Amino acid sequence: MELNEEDLKMLNSKIGLKHLLAHKKVDLKEALTATRYELTLREIQAELVKMQLWIIANNMKVMLLFHGGDPSEKSGIIRKILSHNNPRHYRVEVNLPHRSQKTNGEWYFKKFVEKLPQEGEMVFWDRSWYNRAVIEPVHGLCTQKEYEMFMEQVNAFEKMLTDSGITLIKFYFNISRKEHSRRLKEVKKSPLTKWKMTPFDEHSKELWAEYKNYKEKMISQTHTEHAPWIEINKERREEEMIEAARQLLSLIPYGKD
């Protein structure tokens, strides 16, 4: 592997040396990739802090939705984005799918309305109301009528949110079927992460086509001018995070007034 002057400078830095010596067998390419990622991440996290300060100062209300296949790094990406931000001015909400759901006649969106962002606050949803667009119909967690009602109401619901002054950002993380399988095997193999496996994960490979079909319907029918979907198409976890953070920074006009 040929290294230019910039590569050598990075590898000779504290961060570069850390990654060079991280494993018994030195891998220059992997060490250089990891060093570049960490340096880029530090720059982006500094910008994310500036962005949050601007959101607070301008009383903005920001809501971000994170969706994707089961092994996509939604929760990890959220943690990286927020790792240096002020926790008093953001919340992370999780909407986990459940096999047994009580239908008590409440409006489906009610529980999400109760957790809308306040002025100067960001709310991150690790899965959101869009569970009803993909996961629930695939696994029989909602009826066909409930699914169709959701698809009829969701665009109007989001228009009400944006008309009320909420900045709504919707991310969907796409990975290939091959990468999907690789990540699932990695999760199952590691004693530190195998607890993350759920029945949904176990059946996700055999339901790939059905997931894809519902996902494509969701994107085509709910990609609107007031609340468009931002699709992230990256195979590496690090690239997913960097792309999502850059997209977020580009959508908030901090430091531009």
pLDDT of residue 238 exceeding 70: yes
pLDDT band for position 102 (50/70/90)?
Answer: low
- Our measurement of the distance from residue 196's CA atom to the centroid of its chain's CA atoms, rounded to an integer in Å, reads 17
The residues, any chain, with a CB within 8 Å of residue 119's CB and separated by 6 or more, are 59, 60, 61
Taking only the tens place, the pLDDT of each residue in 1-49 is: 677 777 777 787 878 777 777 777 777 777 888 888 889 999 999 999 9
* Cβ neighbours, 10 Å, residue 243: 18
Question: Cβ(74)–Cβ(68) under 8 Å?
Answer: yes
pLDDT of residue 104 exceeding 70: no
pLDDT of residue 70 exceeding 70: no
Q: Which of 42-46, 78-82, 201-205, 209-213 has the lowest mean pLDDT?
A: 201-205
